[in-house]
Amino acid sequence: MKLTPLVSVLLAKAIEAAPQPVTALSNVGATTSDVYPPAATSVNSAQFPPEPVVQFPGPTQTGLEPAVAQTAPLYPYNTQGAAAFPLVAPQPQGSDSSSKVDITRYWGNLSPWYSLSSADYGLPNASPLIPAGCSISQVHLLYRHGARYPTSGAAPATFAAKLANATKGAGFQVSGELAFLSDWTYKLGAELLTPFGRSQNFLLGVAYRQLYGELLNNFTAQGALPVFRTESQDRMVKTAENFAAGFFGVPEYLNQVNIEILVENPGVNNSGAPYEVCNNSNIASRGSIGTTVANKFANNAFNSTLARLNSQISGNLTFTPTDAIAMLQLCSYETDALGYSAFCGLFTQQDFQNYEYYYDLSFYYNNGPGSPVAAAQGKGYLEEFVARFTQTYPAALSALNETFDDTPTYFPLNQSIYADATHEVVVLDTLTAFNLTALFNGPALNTSTNQGRNNFVASKLVPFATHFTTQVLECPILIPSKQIRFIVNDAVVPVSDSHPGCPVDPNGLCPFDTMVNVLKQRINEIDFRYDCFANYTASAGVNYNGRAPRNATP
């Protein structure tokens, strides 16, 4: 069975005066076969129509421009241990002048990404650099968009409306730490990438060109352009553009890469947004367990801080646990979007640790091993990864893209570089589908207290611009010589305990054919239709390995 593409899009902008590729001075002396892009190639705007033709961009409300130089109390120097340049993040409430706590690392999926240590996952000597005696033949990248405004109708906007209504009442006053609220206004937009978010994806593109640029020679030899993929939401299209601009340069990327845009809309199945067709993903007793337990945890996590803040308010306003989360989110979102937020200084280091655990619970049980639908939602990408590994088109199964088509135009099998942009939940779904249990090592997360006994931390695995990299290597010093390994935000992930046949290896390597066979078995184990549509009950406090319990009623 062959699925007809619903829509596939090239993001290259067809403009009349588009500059033609020129030979850089640095290429003087290089042969034609060494120069990228390949001769006689061009972007095909007929096969890959642009964003306005695809439509379905989602909400596109913009916000006010940031003005850090005028509004922030500190200049955002990019010093080690501070917030990600060029953001300003103050110290937690109650800190002394010597404190150097990086609060951005407690923001869950709203944290800027940072490099993880392979040692944290059991490989103290592993490095993302290619191991000695090996060479890289292929790299696969699955990455998240950079920092964005809140989604439409999220808690920060609701809090702002509550505050605005309170200020209309008689006797409303704020003092002390809350004095800034007397003239504070909501300045955030919705859904779109922030300037900092754009820079994250651009720099990720620069980094991957620096790390793996030599693989472009394979495209030159083939006389072909790569296909990178993304979704149709505006921030997703801009994410792929910024990544491509960083990777290929501006305006060169307009003529050097085909960007395929998959429609993201309710009822449309694509591997980059599988929750749109997984019915159980939004049911409280199944795919939304994490949302329920996270909200329950927050009910008693900020009591002392709420008492302190409420003592500084007069009038018809009382902050609740929901407001505490909203203000912590405003700390994150305003910093990511405007460069600085006065809300950050309202909360203690313990508050930020509880804020992180709020996100840990949410993601572990919504999209990690504690979720009954996570593996099903990651199955589409798992199938596509294996198809690229084996140069064999997968069968047209329910978990695949509705837009999937077994043609080299839209799903090439011979690329040396792949780059797919998606959302953080899908990255985590995919890690769960790949069964990378080292990332979740430890008991299922406690739903009432943060016991710190599990490797899973949301800010490490699902931050803004998080990325999952697969390296396919040739290692003549090993038998067999073809090897594979997985890297998450610069941490090499061990697989010997979770993938039968993979040896204990200090560099996280596994024989390629062994890994492919294990992943094929994992695909067969994941029942997309059952996990996403059956009538079963799942519970928090259980590690389901991303699979639904088999207790469905007839």
Strand partners, 472: 138, 484
User: Measured between alpha carbons, how far is 251 from 228 in angstroms, rounded to an integer?
Assistant: 17
Taking CA 516 as the corner, what is the angle to CA 512 and CA 518, rounded to the nearest 5 degrees? Answer: 120
Question: Which H or E run contains 231?
Answer: strand 227-231
| Per-residue model confidence (pLDDT) at position 391 | 94
| Per-residue model confidence (pLDDT) at position 44 | 87
| pLDDT by residue, tens only, the chain of 554 residues | 333 333 433 333 332 333 333 333 333 345 556 678 888 888 888 898 888 888 898 987 877 655 444 455 654 433 443 456 778 877 888 877 677 788 999 999 999 998 898 999 999 999 998 998 999 999 999 999 999 999 999 999 999 999 999 988 778 999 999 999 999 999 999 999 999 999 999 999 988 888 899 999 999 899 999 999 999 999 999 999 999 999 999 989 999 999 999 999 998 888 999 999 999 999 999 999 999 999 999 999 999 999 999 999 999 899 999 999 999 999 999 999 999 999 999 999 999 999 999 999 999 999 999 999 999 999 999 999 999 999 998 876 655 655 566 788 989 999 999 999 999 999 999 999 999 999 999 999 999 999 889 999 999 999 999 999 999 999 999 999 999 999 999 999 999 999 999 999 999 999 999 999 999 999 999 999 999 999 999 999 999 999 999 976 54
**Positive or negative CA dihedral for 428, 429, 431, 432?**
positive
Conformational region of residue 90, where left means phi above 0, alpha means psi within -120 to 50, and beta covers everything else = beta
482-488 vs 491-493, strand pairing mode: antiparallel
Residue 342: strand, helix, or coil:
helix
Domains of the chain: 120-147+195-275+371-533 (3.40.50.1240)
| Per-residue model confidence (pLDDT) at position 24 | 33
| Per-residue model confidence (pLDDT) at position 21 | 36
Residue 504: strand, helix, or coil:
coil
